[in-house]
Copies of this chain bind each other. A is one copy, B any other.
């Protein structure tokens, strides 16, 4: 599995440097930034210490959808659980993410929002999964670089603890397999008389989130496609 860190409009170069260092501590090398390369200032390079190459090789994008277009599994991160049109999105913990993604043979993109603001709802909705680091209600919001470090640590730790027998591993669905499944599901919902018009969008959203959280395997995705492919509904 290849892990990619994606930062959306980060504010402080110092945090970027610390993030680069944490990435190297936990064997992650690819950094993508939605924003301007000005952010890579002196502070960034100083705080990166021996991880300066990660900053030098960082790629820049104009939007998050561009930045994740080739990523198989995308993970939005949040310091707080927030709702989208009253549908609360349930975050999983970094540990659950790490255990589930261990057998991902594609790419895993972890998306972090701007310091103080976090990710916008529409950016969260672009992602398969929502992750939140369990913190005390006394001060739930972590510094950006420390949140990155805890999440990358969990993923790294899981990768070095080898205890899943090969036969229990399921091959995670790729981005394309999931998109196909969602497309067939959405078409199914569209032509269904069973789902009232005003509920169709919500159903599609919920199903998309469940597919993300369940770490659906390629086989499961392909099997479900057959279910929704039936067109003799009307």
Q: Is the C-beta of A136 less than 8 angstroms from some C-beta in chain B?
A: yes
Q: Is there contact, CB below 8 Å, between A139 and B51? A: yes
Q: Is there contact, CB below 8 Å, between A21 and B156? A: no
Interface size on A, residues (CB 8 A): 31
Q: Is the C-beta of A82 less than 8 angstroms from some C-beta in chain B?
A: no
The binding surface of chain A is classed by DSSP as helix
Q: Is there contact, CB below 8 Å, between B21 and A139? A: yes
Alpha-carbon gap, A95 to B99, bound state (A): 15
Alpha-carbon gap, A182 to B95, bound state (A): 38
Q: Closest residue of chain B to A135, judged by CB?
A: B25
Interface residues of A in 122-174 (CB under 8 A from B): 133-136, 138-143, 145-146, 149-150, 153, 156-157, 160
Residues from chain B with Cβ under 8 Å of A156 in the complex: 134-136
Q: Is there contact, CB below 8 Å, between A133 and B153? A: yes
Q: What 1/0 mask marks residues of chain A from 35 to 65 whose CB sits below 8 Å from any chain B CB? A: 0000000000001011100000000000000
Alpha-carbon gap, A150 to B156, bound state (A): 12
Known A146-B145, A149-B146, A160-B134; judge A139-B18 contact (CB<8 A). Answer: no
Residues from chain B with Cβ under 8 Å of A134 in the complex: 156-157, 160
Alpha-carbon gap, A133 to B25, bound state (A): 10
Q: Closest residue of chain B to A79, judged by CB?
A: B25
Alpha-carbon gap, A50 to B139, bound state (A): 8
Contact of A142 among B22, B95, B141, B143 (CB under 8 A): B22
| Residues of A that sit less than 8 Å from B by CB | 18, 21-22, 24-27, 47, 49-51, 93, 95, 133-136, 138-143, 145-146, 149-150, 153, 156-157, 160
In the complex, besides A50-B139, A134-B156, A149-B149, 4 extra interface pairs with C-beta distance below 8 angstroms are A21-B143, A25-B139, A25-B146, A142-B149
